[in-house]
Amino acid sequence: MKVAQVVCRELGCGEVIGIAGSGRFGAVSGSLWDGGFQCHGTEPLLSACARRPRHDEACPGPGSVICSSYTGFRVANGSSGCSGRVEVAVRGTWGSVCASEWELPDAHVLCRQLGCGRALSVAPGGSFGSGEGPLRPDAFGCSGSERHPGECPVAVLGKLPCAPGNAAAVNCSGGYGDLCEE
């Protein structure tokens, strides 16, 4: 994870949200270096990390990392930490997600990532206020099976500005004492 943090930082791609198995992103055309890196996770560039020598066993395949410019997700202004306005941090700046493209599969992924079970409903836009910061028109295209909203495909370009006060809202099962995901 420490090496992946450095790679995401160096590429300007935000935070690391996962390390994928070898071959997840296809075959490699060229040779693989089968050494390793020893990073603390705070280095600005991978070249600043110490290099480890070649391993005795064969390299199983290319290393892969999943980065996201979304550095945080939360719900706000609800009665619990599991219901409220959907907020996202993009490189540390918090803002609300626009409700016009926020759907139940997106909400399922967010609720699971927050440890709040499954989404019971996507509340009407603005149900939990407008919030502070930008109102982001990002359209998450989650299937519902992703572990983190940052793994979902997102369309940003070409999206119309969000109507003021139309912040996405969600009610997760963990927000209600007697309803929990098993």
98: confidence class by pLDDT, cuts 50, 70, 90: very high
Total length of the chain: 182
Indicate the CATH number for domain 70-175. Answer: 3.10.250.10
Diameter of the chain by CA atoms? Answer: 59
What does the pLDDT look like over 109-133, one tens digit per residue? 999 999 999 999 999 999 999 888 8
List the chain domain ranges. 2-67, 70-175
Mean pLDDT score across all residues of the chain: 85
Distance, in Å, from the CA atom of 21 to the CA atom of 65, rounded to the nearest integer, reads 9
Q: Is the pLDDT of residue 72 over 50?
A: yes
In this chain, the answer to whether the domains covering 2-67 and 70-175 adopt an identical fold is: yes
161: confidence class by pLDDT, cuts 50, 70, 90: confident
By CB atoms closer than 10 A (0-12, 13-18, 19+), residue 88 is buried
Q: Is the pLDDT of residue 2 over 80?
A: yes
Q: Is the pLDDT of residue 9 over 90?
A: no
pTM of the predicted protein model:
0.72
Homologous superfamily of the 2-67 domain (CATH)? SRCR-like domain (3.10.250.10)
13: confidence class by pLDDT, cuts 50, 70, 90: confident
Distance, in Å, from the CA atom of 182 to the CA atom of 158, rounded to the nearest integer, reads 39
